[in-house]
Structure formats: C-alpha cells, structure tokens
Structure 1
C-alpha cells in the first residue's frame, strides 16, 4: 500500500517549526574561541591575537549568512501490490527539503516490524545488506545530503514473513546546515501499516455439499431441474424440452422418453473461527505455525475455494469480539475476507460467547458450518455439540499443531500434559459420537472425506415422532 504524506511532528512541543533549529557544539566552540582571542588581545594589547580570531569570526559569519526557515519533512510509503506471506516487500522512507537552503547532512532512521525482514537498504546510491536481523539494516542510521527543494528516498527491500498489518516506522530525521553549525530537532512521522495477506494453502473438496439451497450454482442438488448431472430417464411430459428427448430409449419403448437431470444450485458456507485460545509459537511463512496461523490460512483457503465455485461465504468469530462478515459471492467477497482475516486476534473471555455469536437469524439452516478450532477450551466443544443438536451441518477442523512440544519444566508438567492430551482425545471422541466430524487440517483434501460423510447423513431418512 502507499501511505499518504503525513504532516511532520516535532519531538518536543513548544517552539514553532520555523524556530526548531538549535546550535551545535561546533558553533559554540567557534564563538567561544573567537571571544577568548578577542578579549585576550584587547586586555594584553596584542594585535596578533585579534588577527588570529578574525578567520574564526569571518568563517562563522559566512556560514550563518543564510538560515533555514522550515523543518525537514519525513514520510513513509509502501508497496501498493497484493503482498502475500513470503512475498517481496518494498517500502520507502523519504526525507524532503522544502527550504531554499541545502541540507549538508540528513540522518534518517526507521523502525520496522520483526515480521518484515529487510535484507537491503539503498539510499543515494549506497547499499547496505544484511542476512541476519532486519534491525541491522532498517533501524541503523543512514546519512545523506539533500539538495534544495528536493527529496531523498531510503528504499527498504526484503521479505514479508507473516500475515497481518505490520508497521513500517515510525521514522525520524535530523539535518545539519550552515556547515554543521545548526541542527534541526528530530522530525518523526507516524508508522505506515503494510498489509500482508495470508498464504492460501492448496485446498480442494470435490464432494457435494450437504444441502444446496440457492437457485443457481455449481453444486448438484437432489431436486430435478435444469443441470448437467443425469438423474435418469422418464416418460415425456408436457413442458419438457425437445433437446432432452432420449431417442434410443424412445424408439425401443415406442414412447417418448426424456433424460432427467438434477438442478445446479449454490450453497452457503460459514467459516467459524475459534479465537478463545492460542498455542504454539509462530515462525513465519517458512517456520512453525501457531494455532492462529493455521486458522487464518485455512480460512483463507476454504473461502477462496468455495467463492471460486460461486458459493456464498460468510465469516464468524467465536470469541468476545464476535465479529461477523455477511455472506456474499464473487472476487470482491474474497478480497473482503482477506481484509477481515487481518484483524483476527486470539483473546480469552470468562463469559460464554455462544448467545452473542449465534443470535437469531445469524446462521442459515441449510448452511455448511466449518469450525476452525484448537479445542483448547471446553466451551468450544459445547458450542459444536449445540450446533449439531440444532440440526445444522457442522464440520470441525482441528487447528492445534501436531508437533506441539510438552513443557520441560520441573515437577509434574510433562505428566499433566499427557493427561490433558488424553482428556482432549476423549472429548474429540465424544464429539464424533454426537455426529460432529473432527478432522485435522492438512491442506488439499482435508475436508473431502468428511464432507462425503456429511452428505450421506443429509440424504439418510430421519425418524419422525
């Protein structure tokens, strides 16, 4: 994204921008030395001391013949492209000189998020590179000269390691003029947020939806109508299209028969994100994934898959914030989903958020609810059970890292960890007994088998009372 220039703010309040210049030690030493030589020459009656002080006085006066009137300007801009995890990052810190006086030296420094690894920084033709930490390149000071009514760019190039809104900045600059006799106060600009979208893992589900309720779409429903899925051959009836006539069967039976098809309909997919707990340590796009990393990347992949098929996709948060994204279709909805996922945060809550999240008229009875949960909180399991008892089609995706290391502290920590694992496995078994399939996220084909089972349950006859 490109950040618009923001007005610079002075580090300390008080003096206006036009007087935000202070003398340096060099000016103080020059004035002190000139004064001492002149006083000594007058008191001692020595002309040579006065002649020796003349160059210092003339040089100082010549350097201060023109004084700056405004402070420098600093702003930050970033790449406006679609930046994904692992993609190339480009950001620019610009120092502008709006004055009619050249800046002898401008010292620029900027902070940057640890999830944005800066590998190269270029300013005024000079390049600094580092393969270690990004702070070694981005947060080091850079010095350059800035001509009159011009700007110099500090270009930062690197890699985005993790999804989210990461700050580039704040950035500050101080400049020296009058041959180093005057220096400006620090001018600091607000940070610019760089949007890094989650990397969508490959995902595909070829099985039919449990219940497609729309009018048009890509899923084969169980209702007869216009579509591409053959449902059988039946006797011709008024209203049938002539192009549906099966001439082989008609000639053999000596009666017109038509090929019956199933209508193609769309479906609504609700992706529910359990944000009550976080576990694991995130290592970025090429490292280990935490619960939040797996949740966000899986949600982006599922939404991309079903939106590409023409389905309606909505998002829900099971947590204290209870954020919700209304169902919609198309590429605009996919971009909205990515923006919505950037604000996902794990936050615990002592209250039960079920009634707040699943209020009246929130979930459709025909929607497929895909719940991304680590099952670290007992309320998450209760929420899944209540959804299943309400008659909705629920699929639970386990987002807990498989390689979650047990604690190595002294005492009974490791034993408690094993007992917690056994209790969690028992809870997953009870959910499956209640008709909630639980599957671990593994990218492509993760939900294919479980969707097949859910579709079979939807077509099974139900016992009526």
Structure 2
C-alpha cells in the first residue's frame, strides 16, 4: 500500500482513464430501507411498538453507515517494467488503484487482461500472494483501499515471445459506506510491453564482398591505403615509393609495388520476407514459426556485424516496405531491436519489389542477407532479379524443418505436401543455378561457407563490355 500520487503523476485524463461519474446504491441499501419502512408502517398501522423497536437498529445502522458518503471515484493506472526485456526474461507489472477521497473504500475489486505471451505466474495484492500458474490472471482480485493511499496488484512472470504485448485494459469497482454504495466501473487503457528477441550466438567469417565506408573491422575488396596485402603489381603513376617491393623488382627487372586493401566498413542489409507465415509459435523454448526464426536470425546477424563496427540496415519485403537506415554502433543495435518488434507477416497481391529496391534505398555494394521461407514465388523472383543486377545476395531459408502438413491423415494431404516439398526444392536449385546461395538457418556458423563463396566471386575479375 502506497500513497496516492500527486496530480502531476498518474492523472486519469493523462492515462486515458474513465473516472467514476458517481456512486450508486447497492441492493443492501435497498433492502435495509425497504425493511425499515415496512416495519415502521406496519408498527404504526397496527399499533405495534415492538415492530417500531425492531426497525430502529436497521434505521440507525443505515444512517450511521451513510454519515460519511464518498464523493470522489477511484483512480486506476497500469505500469509495466519493459525496459530491455528479452524472451525468457522476468516480466513485472502492476495495476494500481488509488483512493483520493477522505473516506476509505471497504472493498475494491480489480481485474485486468494480460497478453498470453506474458505468462503471469504470481500476483500479490495487499500483502497476499496468489499462485496463478494454473488458474491464469483472468480473475478478480479483492483488496481494501484506505483513504489517501493506493494498492498495487503486482504481477510477475515470464516473457514467452518477442513483440509488443499489451497489459490491460484493466477495470475496477469499489464499495464504501459499509457496502451500501458502489462506484461505477473505472477503466484504464492498456500499455504495451516490448520484448526483444533472444539472439542466438552467431559468428561469421571476416570476408566481405565489398565495402564503402571508412570504419569497421571488415576489410574492403577495393584497393587503397590499408594493412592487408592484396598482391603485387607493376609500378604506376601515383604510387608511393615506400610501397615498392624491391625483391620482386630486382627479380623482374621492373619496379613493382605492394597493393593493399583499404580498411573500410561493410554495409550489410538484412531483408525480411514478410509475405507469408507458416508454423505455430510456441514461444521461447518451444516450436518456432517462420516469423520467429526470421526475427531472431535478423537480431543475431545484426548484432554480429554492428559489434564489429559495420553499418547495418533493415528492409521489409512486403506491402508496408518498412526500412531502417544504415548506421553503426550500439544506438543502431537498440533501434534495430525496436524496429523488429513491429514485424508482422502480411500477404499482398501486389509486387513490392520496386518500392523496396529503389535506386536510393539499396546500395549496389552492400551485402544483402535475405531471410525468407520461400513460400511465395515472388520471393524467388526477387532473389533472381537481385542476383542478375549484380548485387551480393545470400538467401537464408527460415522455413522450419519440422513443419507438418495441414490435415495430416486426410486423404491426399500427405501426397500434396510431398509434391509441394519437391517443387520447393526445385525452386531452390534454380536459385542456386542463378548464383543465389541458399542456406538453412542453423544458428552459429550458418553463413560461413556461403560468405566465403560470395567473397570469392566478388574478388574475381569481371568482364566488361565496351
């Protein structure tokens, strides 16, 4: 039990609450008045003094209970501790009911809704603890609120899945004057709790196809001032004398210089295919849907490259075509996690390629990591178009390996599912023939061999037409 916050704290208007408009009599007050009236009228009409004496305690008790009537309704607000909350972490929230009146509330009943992905295991109100592991949080909680104080319904549990999960709306009703008066329902709007995806340990090789910035741990494939040796070539105009390799020059009887690669940061674009969803999410520790694998893999890959000083951008291949501009550092990592909380699978009849891959959106030198379940033909066409345009593309298959066919055991469902699997495998083979490496996401080391192949292709000489 705590003191009611001042007017600059949790105001009903500021929190979107609906304050009680007044107090209404309860059935107890109606029965007391009716019984008192019947006894008095019957005693007067029949001349029965005993009936009048019997009605006196009911009349005095009702008058005594109503001597101090409440005028202000209760206040209600929700708070949730959702700062840097990760899947599987401990969740804590509270629903507070305050009494700004000079009369105490005899009984206060509070009820709230909580997202099923926030598994509330325990509740504490008024010093009493309640185990909710079996019953759930969708139940009323009863407490007493003294004048000028507030009582918190504290909820604790586990965050089971990434995303923005609501706590609330919540409602409360209170009774005063010995239970003879009850307030109207007070409601408060829900608040959202952001749960970040749990990132799996991810490591990738140092090889990068190209880079265009000036900082970072990955070496560029472009020649320039740096510390990594790229080879030895013939001395040309503009070369510095300190770069001359005298051993090779004496052997070849011609000046040669040591060529180096510039130390520049790489730009990594993580593209999320949100055209389709498959599988059923079981939260952290359970089965993973396509969207779960996509978001968690994007967080792991982004964390890996951002911690190495590279620039990371995010794109959605879908109707919304959301974009996160490339940047580096810890601020970009937190922004990336916040951006991932709003990822939603949404089907669209239109082709989103042009609005996603405009000339001012996607750099031609960036390494594009596409997280896709390859459930839509447009996704495969998008990968092929990007490969033909000369971009460095790596496709990560996010379809769960244990996905079950719909309607298992019903006639041709198994056969149709096998045919669909064969057709999808053929599509993946065609993508590889077009130069798009496709690899299934398997956590750490998933992209090592693919990145080596892409880097080797990027460093190979290309024929140029005149």
Report the TM-score, using the length of structure 2 for normalisation: 0.91
Equivalent in the alignment of 1:98: 100
**Separation (CA, whole Å) in 1 of partners of 2:11 and 2:308:** 41
SS in 1 for 2:86: coil
Aligned pairs for 1:53-132 within 5 A: 53-132=55-134
Partner of 1:178: 177
Alpha-carbon separation, structure 2, partners of 1:278 and 1:338: 20
Where structure 1 has 5 or more consecutive residues not aligned to the other structure, the ranges are none
Match in the other structure for 2:429? 429
Partner secondary structure for residue 299 of structure 1: helix
Match of 1:278 in 2: 277
CA distance, structure 1, for counterparts of residue 31 and residue 458 of structure 2: 88
Write the distance in 2 (CA, Å) between the matches of 1:195 and 1:410. 40
Residue 227 (structure 1) shift: 3.4
Give the secondary-structure state (helix, strand or coil) at the position aligned to 2:219: strand
Q: Distance in 2 between matches of 1:222 and 1:329?
A: 20
- 1:312 corresponds to: 311
Q: Secondary structure at the match of 1:104?
A: strand
TM-score (norm 1): 0.91
Question: Are 2:364 and 1:365 aligned?
Answer: yes
SS in 2 for 1:170: strand
Cα distance in 1 between the residues matched to 2:62 and 2:164:
49
The equivalent residue for 1:160 is 159
C-alpha spacing 1:10/1:205, structure 2 compared with 1 (3 Å)? closer
Q: CA deviation at 1:263?
A: 2.3
Which residue matches 2:444?
A: 444
SS of aligned partner of 2:287: coil
CA distance in 1, matches of 2:312, 2:370: 13
- Give the deviation of 1:230 after TM superposition: 4.1
- On the 8 A contact 1:10/1:185 being kept in 2, the answer is no
Once residues 224 and 347 of structure 2 are traced to their aligned partners in structure 1, the CA distance between those partners, rounded to angstroms, is: 48
Tell me: CA distance 1:9–1:308, structure 2 relative to 1, closer, same or farther (3 Å): closer
Of residues 37, 40, 56, the one that matches 2:39 is: 37
1:220 aligns with 2:219: yes
- Aligned mates of 1:42, 1:384 — CA distance in 2: 95
Report deviation, 1:10. Answer: 7.7
Question: Which residue is equivalent to 2:378?
Answer: 379
**Which structure 2 segments of 5+ residues have no match?**
1-8
Q: Following the alignment from structure 1 to structure 2, what is the Cα–Cα distance between the partners of residues 241 and 99?
A: 87
Paired residues of 2:123 and 2:132 also in contact (CA < 8 A): no
Partners of 1:22 and 1:207 lie apart in 2 by 72
Q: Report the CA distance between 1:355 and its aligned residue.
A: 1.3
CA contact (8 A) 2:368 2:394 kept: yes
Cα distance in 1 for residues equivalent to 2:16 and 2:448: 56
Distance 1:47 1:441 in 2: 90
Q: Quick check: 1:464 aligned with 2:464?
A: yes
Summarize deviations over 1:261-280 as a string: whole Å, max 9, x none. 43211011111110000000
Report how far residue 260 of structure 1 moved.
6.2
Aligned residues: 453
Does the CA contact (< 8 Å) of 1:128 and 1:137 recur in 2? no
Name the stretch that deviates more: 158-167 or 356-365.
356-365
